[in-house]
Homo-oligomer: A and B are copies of this chain.
Amino acid sequence: MTRTALTAAAVVADAAALADEAGFETVSLSAVARRLGVRTPSLYSHVRDLEALLDGVAALALAELAGRVAAAIAGRAGRAALEGYAAAYRSYARESPGRWQSMQRRAGDAVVRSDAARETVALTGAVLRGYPVPEDEHVHAIRLLGSTINGFLALERIGGFDHSEPSSEESWSRTVDALDALLRAWPADPRHRKAQP
């Protein structure tokens, strides 16, 4: 327990480290204070309350993830971009489970409006560029990508795949295959029978 110069960023970074080491649910103001060698009320000079601290961890995680996704899809298109994208998500969730879990809660405004949040949406859109998904369907496809990937990681994390064969590794590969196939043949919207120009 070394005495770090206390700043908001240092407090958030320590909370993030604790989340990854011991689980997001273990992050409390008192635990972080102990690790930083100060008394709990001292943290209120740097974070508004527990909620703000947890939002801080989410914002940090989102920024880190965005960076990794950007690197993973750089110079790639179509399936290669999709694979890089999906792999970046999964490796992040596995290497930083606590950070990843911080992003699974309803986020405060600071997180929602962050550059990282915008960048993440843009990166998903970039993956879509290599697929013949109609422009007006992009949001649906982005949401489906997010849902499937995050849903898989969430079920994996809570042990949803622990009780049956085959390995979740294999299902992950098949899931990426399935997403690729789906984006290559995105179904037309049966509710929009517009005359085509």
Binding site for B on A (CB under 8 A): 104-107, 112, 121, 137, 139-141, 143-144, 146-152, 154-155, 157-161, 163-166, 168, 170-171, 173-175, 177-178, 180-182, 185-187, 189-191
B residues in contact with A112, CB < 8 Å? 159, 163
Q: Which residue of the partner chain B has the closest CB to A150?
A: B151
B104 adjacent to A171 (CB under 8 Å): no
A187 adjacent to B180 (CB under 8 Å): yes
B residues in contact with A164, CB < 8 Å? 121, 139
A159 adjacent to B190 (CB under 8 Å): no
Q: Which residue of the partner chain B has the closest CB to A180?
A: B187
CA distance A175 to B147 in the complex (A): 10
CA distance A148 to B144 in the complex (A): 7
Q: Which residue of the partner chain B has the closest CB to A149?
A: B151
B165 adjacent to A139 (CB under 8 Å): yes
